[in-house]
Structure 1
């Protein structure tokens, strides 16, 4: 009955349209009253939930990504990707996927990826003879890579939701191979569609111009080197790499590229602060919700229920995948990570599944949810950029959903994809 009161009040509040963060907070208060827990204890959990040093990485990574997104980085990354793959048949779709790979390794955000890459490439692909719906589908599906490729904000949230017991560096490195596999799978699909539909080839860029484009893009790509190189070499932590990335992004944008105006900088910082504030409120209320779930022994009950269905870990993983896919279509990614990790992690640990591996499974599942109606944030952004109805974009995404599900199966049932590189590096 306790669990029904907590979870039922959360679902009811969400059903009437209340923001997820407030649903978590009010449901926690209702649950505390129900089991007669002092409100002081709930408030302590709220404060301790956001009073974590590791959370500093989130605002710094968000700010670095925002500076690079609005400072001309996306345009230069598109040009750089065009040098590498633009001359192939259907090359602009490959440029889109590759630019999303590069930009995801800088911003860590699928929404920022879709907005920046899409605003450049969707009109260009349409001008070159690609259907606008196809161009939008490529953009939104390619942006899911940003969920996996470091620096992923959601990897930081997963580490936090797991109680800080999982290294952020391990999660960052674990996402590299699955992220690249996702990009490769989408690229192969684009090549097949391009050949079938006879989409145009791009032009080979002259050597002198290509060298200039590459040199121009390298300044921005150094952000990726700073973030990953610093963490993997042990020179600095994830928090330190994020703060250094902000300094580097600011330097490149304002003094090298000089496409961004100084007077617009306060507005950018204001938008970043608003984004981070929303995330921090969500984290604080999720900490309260998780505390109540622990007191009510909900994780133990879920573990007993799932292990009672089967003792085969592959069957349990299939059930968890179905659950995550369904919930991912109904809720945004961040609250789901904060709510479900404390519930599902004990289950997978009992079955002998590595928590880092499970983190990648969760990321891929919920990343697919970002481009799936009815609550697909990235899908909405892509539709808005392309000025197309949601239904049109969703239909165009059908083959890309199939490709992403293949990647999900590979990541779920081939743990080495996630664990090989962290173990190789001793993380």
Structure 2
């Protein structure tokens, strides 16, 4: 009965339109009261959930991403990608994917990727004769790489939700190859659709332009090098690298690019504070929620249900993917990471999956949810920028979904895709 109250009130809160964090928190508190557990235990769980040192990195990553969003890096990355790969058939589609890979490695946010690059590339693509749905679909799906390619604050949430026993550094390293793989499969899809629709490539501007574009984009690209390189080298912790990255982002956008104005800086600070506050409230409430999940043995119950269906790891992993994909279509990504990790991770590990590999799989699945209705934030942003209806985009987005699904299956069933690189840094 307690489990029914926990999930019943949670989904009731969502249906009533309550913020996810409040729905999680109220459901947890109500269940504590039903079970006769002292309320101070619930609040202890909430406080202990946010009293994790690695969470300090999240506001720095968010702030660095916001600064890059307002500071001109996206324009320079687009110029670099256009000079490098624009001559390919359907070149602007490939440029879009390449730009997303580069920007995702800096911002770590799919929504920021869609907003920053979409506002630049979608109008240009439409002007060059590309259909609006193609421009939006490429932009939206390629932005998913931002949640996998490091640095990604969602990976920190996963490490915390997993109990703190997973190295954030290892997760960052593990996301590099899958993120690149996602972009490669999307580039193939963009090329094939471009050929089918008869889109042409851009004229190669020459090596001089390519070198100049690289030089202009290099200061911004170094943000990712500082953050990821500092962690990989062992010189900096994740939190320290995030702080250095944020400071460097201020220097680059304000002093090097000279595009960060006071109004933009205030907007970046305000948005970072709002996002960080939301994430921290969610982390705390999810900690109390997870305590109850463990109390009711939910992971064990799920394992028994899945084993009743099949004891084949291939089938179980496919079912886990489908469950995560389905949940990602109807709920916020951060909330799902915090709620689903304590439930699904023990199941995946029982069937032989490495927790780092599962973390990448979770990011990819939930990232797909960002470009899938009904709550796909990236899809909504992309459609607004492209000035098209969501139905119009969804009708032709399937080749890009298929490309991402191929990458997801490779990461799921070929562990080396996500685990070979981390093994080199252990």
TM-score range, shorter chain: over 0.9
Structure 1 contact 324–362 (Cα < 8 Å) conserved: yes
| 1:48 Cα offset (Å) | 0.9
Mapping of residues 96-111 of structure 1, within 5 Å = 96-111=96-111
Deviation string, structure 1 residues 22-64 (Cα, Å, up to 9, x no partner): 1101100111011111100001111111111100111000000
| CA drift at 1:396 | 2.5
Question: In the alignment, does 2:210 pair up with 1:221?
Answer: no
Partner of 1:391: 391
Counterpart CA distance in 2 for 1:231 and 1:404 is: 28
Q: Which residue number in structure 1 is paired with residue 410 of structure 2? A: 410
1:150 corresponds in structure 2 to 150
CA distance in 1, matches of 2:289, 2:209: 55
Pairwise CA distance, 1:325: 1.1
Is 1:370 aligned to 2:341, yes or no?
A: no
Q: Which runs of 5+ in 2 are unaligned?
A: none
Partner of 1:304: 304
Partner Cα distance (1:328, 1:210) in 2: 39
Instruction: Give the Cα–Cα distance (whole angstroms) in 2 for the partners of residues 33 and 277 of structure 1.
Output: 26
Give the match for residue 275 of structure 2.
275
Q: Alpha-carbon deviation of 1:121?
A: 0.1
Measured in 1, the distance between the counterparts of 2:84 and 2:32 equals 57
Number of the residue aligned with 1:59: 59
Q: Give the superposition deviation at 1:235.
A: 0.9
Matched positions, count:
426
Helix, strand or coil for the counterpart of 2:329? helix
Secondary structure of the residue that 1:235 maps to in structure 2? coil
TM-score by length of 2: 0.98
Q: Structure 1 stretch 144-153 or stretch 380-389: which is displaced more?
A: 380-389
Offset of 1:274 from its aligned partner? 0.7
Unaligned runs of 5+ in 1: none
1:19 aligned residue? 19
Q: Secondary structure at the match of 1:78?
A: helix
Q: What aligned pairs does 1:109-258 form with structure 2 within 5 A after superposition?
A: 109-258=109-258
Aligned to 1:352: 352
CA deviation after TM superposition for structure 1 residue 411, in Å: 1.1
Task: Find the aligned partners of 1:396 and 1:66 in 2 and give their Cα distance.
Answer: 31
Provide the rounded CA distance (Å) in 1 between the counterparts of 2:171 and 2:228.
12
Kept after mapping to 2: 8 A contact 1:128/1:200: no
Output the CA distance in 1 between the equivalents of 2:412 and 2:406: 10
1:165-202 CA distances to partner (integer Å, 9 max, x unpaired)? 10001111111111101100011111112222221220
Q: Give per-residue Cα distances to partners, 1:249-295, cap 9 Å, x unaligned.
A: 10010000001213432232011101111111111111111111112
Conserved 8 A contact 2:70-2:264: no
CA distance in 2: counterparts of 1:197 and 1:14, whole angstroms:
41
Distance 2:302 2:136 in 1: 39
Q: Which shifted more, 153-162 or 293-302?
A: 293-302
Per-residue CA shift, 1:134-181, capped at 9, x if unaligned? Answer: 000000000011111000111111101001110001111111111101
1:89 partner SS: coil
* CA apart distance, 1:385: 1.5
| Whole-angstrom distance in 1 between the partners of 2:193 and 2:310 | 40
- Contact persistence 2:83–2:209 (CA under 8 A): no
CA contact (8 A) 1:321 1:365 kept: yes
For residues 282 and 316 of structure 1, the distance between their equivalents in structure 2, rounded to whole angstroms, comes to 29
Q: Are the equivalent residues in 1 in contact too, given 2:162–2:342 (CA < 8 A)?
A: yes
Q: What is the match of residue 381 of structure 2? A: 381
Rounded to whole Å, the distance in 1 between the matches of 2:341 and 2:78 is 36
- Alpha carbons 1:14, 1:20 under 8 Å: kept: yes
**For 2:205, what is the secondary structure of its paired residue?**
coil
Kept in 2, the 8 Å contact 1:86–1:95? The answer is: yes
1:91 corresponds in structure 2 to: 91
Give the alignment's Cα RMSD to 1 decimal. Answer: 1.1
CA contact (8 A) 1:175 1:418 kept: yes
The residue that corresponds to 1:10 in the other structure is 10
Distance 1:197 1:234, change over 3 A: same
SS in 2 for 1:331: coil
CA contact (8 A) 2:147 2:363 kept: yes
Cα gap change, 1:57/1:130 in structure 2, threshold over 3 Å: closer, same or farther? Answer: same
Aligned-partner Cα distance in 2 for 1:36–1:360: 38
Query: What is the rounded CA distance, in whole Å, between the counterparts of 1:172 and 1:395 in structure 2?
Result: 34
